[in-house]
Amino acid sequence: MILQDDMEKQTKFKVLLVDDEEIFREATARQLRVRGFAVLTADSGETALDLVRTDPPEVVLLDQEMPGMHGSDTFIAIKEINPLIEVIMLTGNTSVENALELMKLGTFDYLMKPVNIDELLYKVEDAHARKQLNERKQQRDSNSTT
């Protein structure tokens, strides 16, 4: 029983990593997996949205500059599908104006590449904590209305 509990504790939540840059995507995914996260990856905004619909993650790490569907549009689409999913934007070339706009719309945070892996892990965990908090609030609100 104790062993099973420990096993369960070791499997952390699901993270979706979206980046068209394969080397960064795979290296970061590997580091997240080593630290116990279940990691899904997508190389475009479109693929990411499919995954959000079919296999929803807790937290999304989303590259801002991608060919095709831009990171900002992907973020808005993710929030439309599931407002509770937390999104951390990753960028190599930030327009502060854009970043601030997205923060007002509810991105969890904005990290600049190259990303420090420890900082990224903290952010992912913090984003998950916020998601859990918002879920509890939502649960509370639905209880109070019923």
Partner 1 sequence: MLKTLGNRLQKLFTKDRDTEVPSLDTAAVEELQLTFKARYYSFRQLLTANTKTLESMAEIEKALQGYEPFSFSFVQKACGTVSINVFSMIQHMENIAPGKYGALRESFASIQSRIDALLRQKKELSDRRLVIPLEAVTSEMTDVVGGKMANLGDVKNRLQMRVPAGFVITAAAHELFMNTNGLQKEVDRLFQVAGSDLDRNLDLVSSQIRQLILSADVPEPIYNAVIAAYEKLKQQHGGQEVRLAVRSSAHGEDSENSSFAGQYRSELNVNFDQFFHFFKQILASKYSPQAIAYKINKGFRDEDIAMCVGCLAMVDAVAGGVVYTRNPLDRRDDNIYINSTWGLPKAVVDGDTLCDLFVVARDEALTIVREEIYDKAFQVICYEEDGCIRTETDADTAKLPSLTEGQIRELADAALQIEDYYESPQDIEWAICSDGTIYFLQSRPLQQMEASLPADELNLDRFAASLLTDNGINASPGTASGRVFKVSKKVDILQFPEGAVLVVEQALPTWAPLVARAAAVISERGGFAGHLANVAREFGVPAIFGVTSAMDMAENGELVTVAADLKRVYLGSIAPLLEWKRPELTPMKGSPIYELLQQASRHIIPLNLIDPESRDFQPQNCTTFHDITRFIHEKSVVEMFNFGKDHHFSERSSKQLHYKVPMNWWILNLDDGFIHEVQGKYVRLEDIASIPMLAFWEGFVAIPWDGPPAMDGSGMTTILFRSTMNTALVTGSQSKYADRNYFMISKNFCTLSSRLGYHFSTMEAMVSERAVENYLGFKFKGGAADYERCLGRLRFIQEILERYGFRASINGDNLDARLEGRRIEYMLERLKILGYLTLHTRQLDMIMGNSAHVKYYMKKLTDDIDQILAGQHTCAV
Residue 110 interacts with partner 1 (CB under 8 A)?
yes
With CB under 8 A as the contact rule, the residue among 27, 34, 92, 105 that binds partner 1 is 92
With CB under 8 A as the contact rule, the residue among 34, 81, 103, 105 that binds partner 1 is 103
Binding to partner 1, residues 112-131 (CB under 8 A):
112-114, 122, 126, 129-130
With CB under 8 A as the contact rule, the residue among 69, 94, 117, 121 that binds partner 1 is 94
Q: Which residues of 21-35 are buried (b: 16+ CB within 10 A; e: fewer)?
A: beebbeebbebbeee
How many Cα atoms sit within 13 Å of 59 on the Cβ side? 26
Look at residue 16 and give its three-state secondary structure: strand
Residue 83 interacts with partner 1 (CB under 8 A)?
no
* Residue 79: other Cβ atoms inside 10 A: 18
Q: Between residues 54 and 93, which has the closer beta carbon with respect to partner 1?
A: 93
Q: Between residues 53 and 140, which has the closer beta carbon with respect to partner 1?
A: 140
Name the E strands within the chain.
Answer: 14-18, 38-42, 59-63, 86-91, 109-112
Per CB under 8 A, residues contacting partner 1 are 92-94, 96-97, 99-100, 103, 109-110, 112-114, 122, 126, 129-130, 133, 136-137, 140, 144
